[in-house]
Amino acid sequence: MTFKYYTSGSYTILKPSDEQWRDGFQANITDQFANSSTYQTILEETAFASGSTVSVNVRVTSAVDSATGIKLSDDYKKILFSDITKESGLGWKYYFSSNWWVCSFSDDIKSTPKSITVRRCNNVLRWTTSDGISQSEPCAIDYDLSRTTDMSTKF
């Protein structure tokens, strides 16, 4: 069934309901985002391994393991962005609390508010290029293994 007069209106008035909801959600976030004790300005690397950064206003909170609901250690943080269309992904680096942090989990598909989980860099990868130029990059190296053998394949 087609409603000829209903669909002949302006697109700004007759947006699909999902777009109206997203626009209203974004307006609410924009209006209330800074009203939090976790709100801060951090640095985000602009291009991979470039070393150049830009200031970004975010909320930084403690991270929770989604499988168990247990709070992760201080080596993990959750970053929430005010823009629901913000681009970010695995390997992106951020600087706050006197440490470099690398994105280890991106919440792109599951939720409308844009957020990522970052891990504190605990080491620096250093190498020399074929031209003799020394390079370095902060990285996160996993904790020590608790067992010496792979138990996942044993029956």
Tens digits of residue pLDDT in 39-68: 999 999 988 767 789 999 998 988 877 667
Torsion angle, alpha carbons of 131, 136, 139, 141, to 10:
80
pLDDT at residue 17 in the model: 75
Tell me the Cα Rg of the chain.
21
Show me where the domains of the chain are located: 26-139
Pick 21 or 121 by higher pLDDT.
121
Q: Distance from first CA to last CA of the chain, Å, rounded?
A: 60
pTM: 0.73
pLDDT at residue 2 in the model: 57
Give the fold, CATH level 3, of 26-139.
Answer: Thrombin, subunit H (2.40.10)
> By C-alpha distance, which of 85, 84, 94, 81 is closest to 34?
81
pLDDT at residue 132 in the model: 93
And the tokens for 69? Answer: 């609901």
The span from the CA of 62 to the CA of 79, in Å, is 9
**Pairing of the two strands 99-106 and 134-139:** unpaired
pLDDT at residue 68 in the model: 72
Q: Has residue 86 got a pLDDT over 90? A: no
And the tokens for 14? Answer: 């007759």
Pick 12 or 122 by higher pLDDT.
122
Distances (CA, A) of 69 to 23, 62, 66: 30, 12, 5
**How confident is the model over 102-149, as pLDDT tens digits?**
988 886 666 667 888 899 999 998 999 999 999 888 988 876 656 666
The gap from C-alpha 36 to its chain's centroid, in whole angstroms, comes to: 18
And the tokens for 52? Answer: 């150049």
